[in-house]
Amino acid sequence: MTRSDRKSSSTGVLYCAGRRGSFDQSFYRWGLRSTGVRVEPVGGYRDVVRTLQRTAPPADGPAAGVVDRDARPDHILARQAETVEVLPYFEVESYLIHPSILGAALRHRGLRIQTKDMMAILLDAARGTYMPAINAHLNHAPKSRGSSRLEQMAAQYAEQLERADEIIKRGNADALLRYFPGRQLSHRVARKLDFLSAQHLLDTVLQVPGLRDQCRPVRDLRRALMLRLGL
């Protein structure tokens, strides 16, 4: 089947961040398998938005875009959500370490770890990524000029530190995966559980039969993307 044949047989196009063969493309292809939706990585999140704003629609059905949440503040995310689907978690790698997905991947390797123990591993990984997480959120914080800048920075840092502490204290996986960078968390968790890398963890997840339908986060994402496409 040629590239043009594949395009004509698809039921829509999902634009995502990343490059061809990237982690993002592999994950979305897996999540949308059997739907006929073609996944096209186009660069960064701004490229996803620009691609969707082209005047000529694609020839092979409806188009939609999906971008990572990252550390962007709520008012920016709300504006982006008018054009593209925004992940509920920090980035696509965050899905791999959700306890329901991670548990299935471990069982596929013949290992059984209780949910509370997996959550303890995830919390430990989050404690090791405090500074990257806080700095990511501070990058999007308002910035004043002049002599008040240092006081503002100190107050913003204290606010983000308190926020991170509260998320750790609550021990809620969804809140944690929204705030902390998933890529760094996934590398730490993968090493802790003797996966060779986050990519090895992803490859294991892709082999678990029926996981797309069994796992709430993936099921919710699939439904949201199909609604965004109007399918």
User: In angstroms, rounded to a whole number, what is the distance separating the alpha carbons of residues 176 and 120?
Assistant: 12
User: In angstroms, rounded to a whole number, what is the distance separating the alpha carbons of residues 70 and 136?
Assistant: 8
The pLDDT profile of the chain, 231 residues, written as one tens digit per residue, is 444 444 445 689 999 999 998 989 999 999 998 899 999 999 998 899 899 887 566 666 889 999 999 999 888 999 888 889 999 999 999 998 999 888 888 888 888 888 889 999 999 999 999 999 999 999 988 887 766 888 888 999 999 999 999 999 999 999 999 999 999 999 999 999 988 888 888 888 888 888 888 889 999 999 999 999 998
Q: Which pair of structure tokens corresponds to residue 126? A: 């989050």
Q: Which are the contacts of 86, defined by CB distance < 8 A and separation ≥ 6?
A: 66, 67, 68, 69, 77, 80
Note the pLDDT of residue 34.
87
Q: How far is CA 118 from CA 56, 112, 173, 207, in A?
A: 47, 10, 10, 20
Q: How far is CA 131 from CA 120, 134, 135, 138, 160, in A?
A: 19, 5, 6, 10, 10
Of 223, 228, 220, 222, nearest in space to 64 by CA? 228
Note the pLDDT of residue 58.
64
Note the pLDDT of residue 201.
85
Environment class of 224 (CB within 10 Å of its CB; exposed 0-12, middle 13-18, buried 19+): middle
Of 28, 11, 12, 24, nearest in space to 218 by CA? 28
Note the pLDDT of residue 95.
92
Sheet containing strand 12-16, edge to edge, reads 37-41, 12-16, 63-67, 85-86
